[in-house]
Amino acid sequence: MLRLAETSERIAWTTKKSEKTAIVAEYLRSRQLDDAAISAVFLSSWAFPAFDERMLQIGGSLLWKLVVELSGGREAALRAAYRKRADLGSAAYDVLLAKAPTSATITLQDVRTVFDQMAETRTATAKAAVLKWLLERATALQANYILKIITGELRIGLKESLVEEAIAKAYDEPLARVQRANMLLGDIGGTLQLAAEHRLDQARMRLFHPIG
Q: What is the pLDDT of residues 42-84, one digit of tens each?
A: 999 999 999 998 999 999 999 999 999 999 999 999 999 999 9
Q: Does the pLDDT at position 89 exceed 80?
A: yes
Output the pLDDT for position 207.
85
Across the range 102-119, mean pLDDT stands at: 96
The answer to whether the beta carbons of residues 88 and 67 sit under 8 Å apart is yes
Asked whether the CA dihedral 186, 189, 193, 198 is positive or negative, the reply is positive
Q: Residue 72, by phi and psi: left (phi above 0), alpha (psi -120 to 50) or beta?
A: left
CB-count burial class (<10 Å; 0-12, 13-18, 19+) for 174: exposed
How far apart CA 79 and CA 101 sit, in angstroms, is 22
Query: In 3D, which of 105, 107, 125, 127 has the Cα closest to residue 117?
Result: 127
Please tell me what DSSP assigns to residue 174: -
Distance CA 139, CA 96 (A): 8
pLDDT tens digits along 139-180: 999 999 999 999 999 999 999 999 999 999 999 999 999 999
Give the confidence band of 206 by pLDDT, cuts at 50, 70, 90. Answer: confident
Report pLDDT for 209.
79
pLDDT of residue 32: 97
pLDDT at 5: 98
- Within a 10 A sphere around the Cβ of 204, how many other Cβ atoms? 9
Q: What 3-state class would DSSP assign to 204? A: coil
Per-residue confidence (pLDDT) for residue 212, from 0 to 100: 75
Residue 3 contacts residue 104 (beta carbons within 8 Å):
no
Which residue type is seen at 143? Answer: A
Residues 6+ apart with CB under 8 A from 200: 173, 177, 178, 180, 181, 191, 194
pLDDT at 10: 97
Q: Which of 10, 29, 14 is nearest to 169 (CA)?
A: 29
Instruction: State the burial class of residue 127 (Cβ atoms within 10 Å of its Cβ: 0-12, 13-18, 19+).
Output: buried
- Calculate the average pLDDT of the chain: 96
